[in-house]
């Protein structure tokens, strides 16, 4: 009896340890050690020692936007506009049906511009907050995803999303048409990529989610990610010139692991098996904006471990997001780092909205 107990204890503690430290990588070989070291160097270089500069710059832009729009009176808000940084919203349950409207400085930079489809890369200039240096694949060519299948994760077929994201060169990835993609394993994305779903209705659903592991400079924009389930693991190609054995995936929507300069914008997320978004293990320089979250328990985890002090370099802006129906907790749950949670709209929360431990700095402004 005693022996069985000990075995159980060991089993559980390893089970809890391995996913965090090893990140679904079955064999942490020289390749991954090198990637980890490079990523850590980039995290240190990207870290902003005066985070107030970034939050002030962000707030300056919001104020400027509000002043200009109120002067032009192009936006008809129910509550009018005051001088604080709070963004005013339309009344409950009233779906806006008028002309295209940009209600914040990030959106104004690209949205409602007639030529956006000819000038997609302009988007890369629009990001504000800690992810402000993210330009994704703007220096690369366009890659058009034409095939929604994901049958071969070791040698992905050209034209699939998986084939696009494993390329090492910068790429601006767009979609030929509306498509539903069921990922058969986690989608392991390389650095210098933009995934731009504008003009199509792109759903990543009923399969595995996105993994950003030891990478930098990635934009994900205008897609839906929902009903993500755990993946079985196995041999998966993570770049043109490397593949490896992966363990079981947790079923996160987007997992950001040891990565920096990440911008997630206009993503609709719901009902994933684990978290909707995790940013952990020394990730930094992240902006999550204009996203819509619904129907989920643990929404967003920023720093997973009380003992992982490298997360003190984590800096995240969370702005203009809508935390909608049926959410329980972690909007977000923060550890260690510096978090600007600004102008988000919370429909409600069943346990708590913003929480933290391990002395994080959380600047919460104009949320409602």
Active site residues: 330
* Residue 347 near ligand NAG by CB under 6 A: no
Q: Of 194, 341, 339, 215, which Cα lies nearest the Cα of 281?
A: 215
Q: Of 117, 220, 121, which Cα lies nearest the Cα of 165?
A: 220
Q: How many residues bind ligand NAG (CB under 6 A)?
A: 13
Q: Of 185, 182, 291, which Cα lies nearest the Cα of 227?
A: 182
Structure tokens of 330? Answer: 């972690």
Quote the strand ranges of 202-283, DSSP E.
Answer: 202-205, 210-213, 216-226, 234-239, 242-246, 254-257, 260-270, 277-280
* Residue 33 near ligand NAG by CB under 6 A: no
* Residue 53 near ligand NAG by CB under 6 A: yes
Among 46, 59, 69, 283, binds ligand NAG (CB under 6 A): 69
Kindly tell me which of 13 and 56 has the beta carbon lying closer to ligand NAG: 56
Measuring CA to CA, how many Å separate 156 from each of 151, 152, 203, 258? Answer: 8, 5, 19, 25
* Residue 68 near ligand NAG by CB under 6 A: yes
Among 72, 73, 97, 115, binds ligand NAG (CB under 6 A): 72
- Report the alpha-carbon distance of residue 92 to residue 70 in Å, rounded: 21
Angle at 41 between CA 17 and CA 196, to 5 degrees: 85
Kindly tell me which of 32 and 172 has the beta carbon lying closer to ligand NAG: 32
Kindly tell me which of 351 and 368 has the beta carbon lying closer to ligand NAG: 368
* Residue 64 near ligand NAG by CB under 6 A: no
Tell me the sheet residues that pair with 173: 143, 195
Among 50, 97, 115, 307, binds ligand NAG (CB under 6 A): 50
* Residue 83 near ligand NAG by CB under 6 A: yes
Q: Of 31, 19, 302, which Cα lies nearest the Cα of 186?
A: 19
Q: Of 250, 248, 313, 251, which Cα lies nearest the Cα of 280?
A: 313
Kindly tell me which of 72 and 97 has the beta carbon lying closer to ligand NAG: 72
* Residue 307 near ligand NAG by CB under 6 A: no
DSSP state for residue 249 in the 8-state scheme: B
* Residue 38 near ligand NAG by CB under 6 A: yes
Among 13, 82, 155, 347, binds ligand NAG (CB under 6 A): 82
CB of 69 to ligand NAG, least distance (A): 5
Name the one range near ligand NAG by CB under 6 A: 37-45, 127-135, 241-249, 272-280: 37-45
Kindly tell me which of 210 and 320 has the beta carbon lying closer to ligand NAG: 320
* Residue 4 near ligand NAG by CB under 6 A: no
* Residue 357 near ligand NAG by CB under 6 A: no
365's enclosing H/E stretch is: strand 361-365
The residues, ordered by sequence, that sit 6+ positions from 63 with a Cβ below 8 Å of its Cβ are: 83, 85
Q: For the purposes of burial, counting CB atoms within 10 Å of the CB of 181, is it exposed (0-12), middle (13-18) or buried (19 or more)?
A: buried
The residues, ordered by sequence, that sit 6+ positions from 78 with a Cβ below 8 Å of its Cβ are: 88, 90, 91
Name the one range near ligand NAG by CB under 6 A: 35-43, 199-207, 269-277, 340-348: 35-43
The residues, ordered by sequence, that sit 6+ positions from 119 with a Cβ below 8 Å of its Cβ are: 113
CB of 65 to ligand NAG, least distance (A): 7
Kindly tell me which of 69 and 287 has the beta carbon lying closer to ligand NAG: 69
Structure tokens of 255? Answer: 């997992």
Name the one range near ligand NAG by CB under 6 A: 13-21, 33-41, 127-135, 276-284: 33-41
* Chain residues in the site for ligand NAG (CB under 6 A): 34, 37-38, 41, 50, 53, 68-69, 72, 74, 82-83, 108
């Amino acid at each position: 009896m005693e022996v069985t107990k000990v075995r159980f204890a060991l089993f559980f503690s390893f089970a809890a340890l391995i996913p965090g430290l090893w990140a679904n990588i079955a064999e942490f070989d020289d390749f991954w050690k090198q990637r980890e070291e490079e990523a850590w160097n980039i995290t240190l270089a990207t870290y902003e020692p005066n985070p107030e500069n970034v939050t002030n710059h962000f707030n300056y832009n919001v104020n400027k936007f509000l002043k200009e729009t109120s002067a032009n009176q192009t936006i008809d808000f129910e509550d009018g506009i005051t001088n604080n940084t709070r963004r005013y919203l339309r009344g409950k349950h009233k779906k806006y049906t008028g002309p295209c409207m940009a209600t914040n400085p990030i959106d104004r930079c690209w949205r409602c511009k007639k030529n956006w489809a000819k000038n997609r890369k302009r988007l890369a200039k629009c990001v504000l907050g800690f992810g402000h240096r993210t330009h994704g694949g703007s220096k690369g060519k366009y890659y058009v995803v034409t095939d929604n299948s994901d049958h071969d994760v070791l040698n992905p077929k050209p034209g699939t999303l998986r084939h696009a994201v494993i390329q090492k060169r910068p790429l601006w990835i767009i979609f030929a048409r509306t498509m539903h993609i069921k990922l058969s394993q986690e989608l392991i994305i390389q650095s210098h990529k933009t995934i731009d779903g504008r003009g199509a209705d792109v759903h990543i659903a009923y399969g595995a989610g996105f993994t950003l592991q030891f990478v930098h400079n990635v934009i994900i924009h205008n897609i839906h990610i929902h009903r993500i389930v755990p993946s079985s693991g196995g041999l998966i190609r993570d770049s043109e010139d490397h593949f490896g054995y992966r363990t079981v995936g947790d079923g996160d929507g987007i997992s950001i692991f040891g990565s920096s300069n990440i911008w997630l914008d206009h993503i609709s997320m719901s009902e994933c098996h684990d978290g909707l978004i995790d940013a952990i293990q020394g990730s930094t320089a992240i902006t999550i904006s204009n996203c819509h979250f619904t129907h989920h328990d643990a929404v967003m985890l920023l720093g997973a471990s009380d003992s992982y002090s490298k997360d003190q370099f984590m800096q995240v802006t969370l702005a203009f997001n809508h935390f909608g129906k049926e959410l329980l907790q972690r909007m977000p749950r923060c550890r260690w780092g510096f978090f600007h949670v600004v102008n988000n709209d919370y429909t409600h929360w069943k346990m708590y909205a913003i929480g933290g431990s391990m002395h994080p700095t959380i600047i919460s402004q104009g949320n409602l």
